[in-house]
Amino acid sequence: MTDRADRDTALIERYLRGEVAAFEELMTAHEDRVFAVCLRMLRDREAALDATQETFITVFRKVDRFAGRSAFSTWLYRVAVNTCYDQSRRTRRHNVEPLPESNDPPDSSAEDAYHAVELRPDLEAALDALPGEFRAAVVLSDIEGLALQTVAEILNVPIGTVKSRVFRGRRLLAESLGNLPGASDTPISEANA
């Protein structure tokens, strides 16, 4: 186990013995990453804040069900992703405005600051247009940098399914952004119709 995993296990044990401050410490250690996952999944700051709060409420109530077969963070991200799925289903009919460009980090591969900001809205729109299961796999593996095995555990699917979703999600992103030789100008939503 890693040092973080050992600390998480100790905090869970302390919380289960009645020490509420241990849960607060556990939450503080993970809230930024959970919020980042929720923000990438939901594409709306307020919705991501709500999902983050709901994630920790769920964990607060159900941490005794954490079996320890994986790292606590893996279980926590699974709760976060499921919360985002639930919230997306509840609000599917409502359109959300994308985050202002100023909230996004610049694209470090761009030649200058102007092009760096210019590329982000296209990428965000393409990511937002991905079907949910592809978006979750791409966000967790490519943006959050989690190992494919960890993503498989979070999404509760076989690793082969994760590999397929990441591959197909990347391909749809590349097609949408015009990064494939001979790619059509067909938006993702039309390609999946």
- Kindly report the pTM of this predicted structure: 0.63
The pLDDT value given to residue 97: 53
Which residues contact residue 180 at a Cβ distance below 8 angstroms, ignoring those fewer than 6 apart? 171, 174
Q: Which CATH architecture has domain 130-193?
A: Orthogonal Bundle (1.10)
| Percent of the chain's residues with pLDDT above 90 | 40
Length of the chain, please?
193
What confidence tens digit (pLDDT) does each residue in 112-148 have?
A: 444 444 446 677 778 878 888 898 898 888 888 889 9
Residue closest to 43 by CA, chosen among 94, 79, 78: 94
Rounded distance between C-alpha atoms, residue 6 and residue 16, angstroms: 15
Tell me the CATH number of domain 1-97, given options 1.10.1740.10, 3.40.50.10490, 3.40.50.2300, 3.40.50.150. 1.10.1740.10
Are domains 1-97 and 130-193 of this chain identical in fold?
no
Cα–Cα distance for residue pair 24/11, rounded to 1 Å:
9
- Select, from the ranges 8-22, 100-114, 177-191, the one with the highest average predicted confidence (pLDDT): 8-22
Average pLDDT of the chain to the nearest whole number: 80
Q: What is the pLDDT of residues 57-97, one digit of tens each?
A: 999 999 988 888 888 999 999 999 999 988 888 876 555 45
Residue 22 binned pLDDT confidence (cut-offs 50, 70, 90):
very high
Q: How far apart are CA 40 and CA 122, in angstroms?
A: 15
**Which backbone phi and psi does 16 adopt, to 5 degrees?**
-65, -25
Domain extents for the chain?
1-97, 130-193
